Chain A
Amino acid sequence: MTAPRAQELGIIGCHVCGLVCRAPASDDAACPRCGAALHRRRRNSIARTWALLVAAFILYIPANVLPIMRTVSLGDVDDNTIISGVVELWIKGSPSLAVIVFTASIVVPMTKFLVLGTLLASTQRHSRWALRQRARLYRAVEFIGYWSMLDVFVVALLTALVRFGFLSQVEPLPGVVFFGLTVVLTMFASMSFDPRLMWDLSDDD
């Protein structure tokens, strides 16, 4: 690979406005055009991403175990977790939407945990394995991340809509708060990971 990297040329790109600058000597330099802080790499990227990812994973457990929504109709109480909501949608509504909700609530978060964990571990070990594919995986994770908020919005809408007093009523339960937090934390985690670190390999790596 012959294309030069900014680090080798002693230049730095502003992450906000894209201006190419000579790399500053000090750590707290600002972009001359937009005033954003200039960083060669995101600060403490690996440690910060690990911390956010682990926190998100811990919150993902109550998000799945605790019910996210309660339906009360004629005194009948029915609590739904994420997974039982998917099953119900499959049986009573539409299997294709059940697949979408399952993807957004289970597959996407799990994929994020796995992919970011793998990227972090392989970057820490200075691995040269599948670099281009790993770069692509990271971009995919960044792109799909926020769609996980789907189930949170469904619960919010049903809570606001199903208000028929004794006949039928929907309430949010704590699981949905944990799930919302999980999604926000995984988004922060993928933002704090610096994919350039994957490519920062010396010749003896």
Chain B
Amino acid sequence: MSTPEHGLAPADPTDSAAAGRLHASSPRLVICEHCDTVHRGHALAPGEAMRCVRCDALLARYHVLNADGMLALVLTALIVFLIANVWPVVTLGLGSQQSSTTLWGTIVMMWEQGAQLVAVVAAATLFFFPLNKMLMLGWVLFFAREGRRAPGFASIMKTLYYLQPWTMSEVFVLGAIVSIVKARAYFDVQPDPGIWAYGVLMLLITVFSGIDLRSLWDVTEDA
């Protein structure tokens, strides 16, 4: 290594092993993604957040949860997600007739009614992306508990990064509430277990959204 003193990783794959070690042992630099300003990173105290001096963007926040805690949260979310998808969300009644739906019932119905594009977007953002996100996170965290990187760690972390903005379960919950109110004018409306499970899922997602997954790169090492 020609310039070990500043502790930067060279963007040259042949040096990557040395770069990894160097990076871990030197004071960490944090670059603001919103304005490119360089900060010196430091350990955060409980409740502390680090903001960019130039553009005020959030750079890092203290987290109570370690890998164990996060794994517990992901497993809880997975169970709640299954409940939310198996049970119907709402049941409508009109006279003696009843009609209820699950998330998948909704997706299939949109497909059959000629709104295939909406069906695909809904299936992706409400089912496949959230499910994959939880499974991949669970896999990565399971290994991170012992400070190890799971098989496929790099590509999983990259996929998680790109999936990030495309999960919309929270919006679906609000959509269900609006639908209930709209339907209430004409039908007997009865909320089903699915909607409660979605509500809990919404809370779990909110807790998770505050966690910076990049820290997993710093707390793990290649096995």
Contacts and interface: CB of A to CB of B under 8 A. Distances in A.
A19 B217 contact: yes
Contact of B36 (A94, A163, A172, A199): A199
Interface string A128-144: 00011001101100100
Contacts of A104: 174
A166 to B, nearest CB: 11
B103 to A, nearest CB: 9
Contact of B11 (A9, A23, A172): A23
Interface in A148-202: 149-164, 167-168, 171-172, 176-177, 180-181, 184, 187, 191, 195-196, 198-200
Nearest to A16: B161
Interface SS, A side: helix
Contacts of B34: 135, 138-139, 195-196
B11 A32 contact: yes
- Chain B interface extent, by class: 35 or more
Contacts of B56: 132, 135-136
A33 interface: yes
A117 interface: no
B39 A3 contact: yes
A152 B125 CA distance: 12
B9 A22 contact: yes
A162 B99 contact: yes
Interface of A: 1, 3-7, 9, 11-13, 15-24, 29-36, 38, 73, 88-89, 92-94, 97, 100-101, 104, 131-132, 135-136, 138-139, 142, 145-147, 149-164, 167-168, 171-172, 176-177, 180-181, 184, 187, 191, 195-196, 198-200
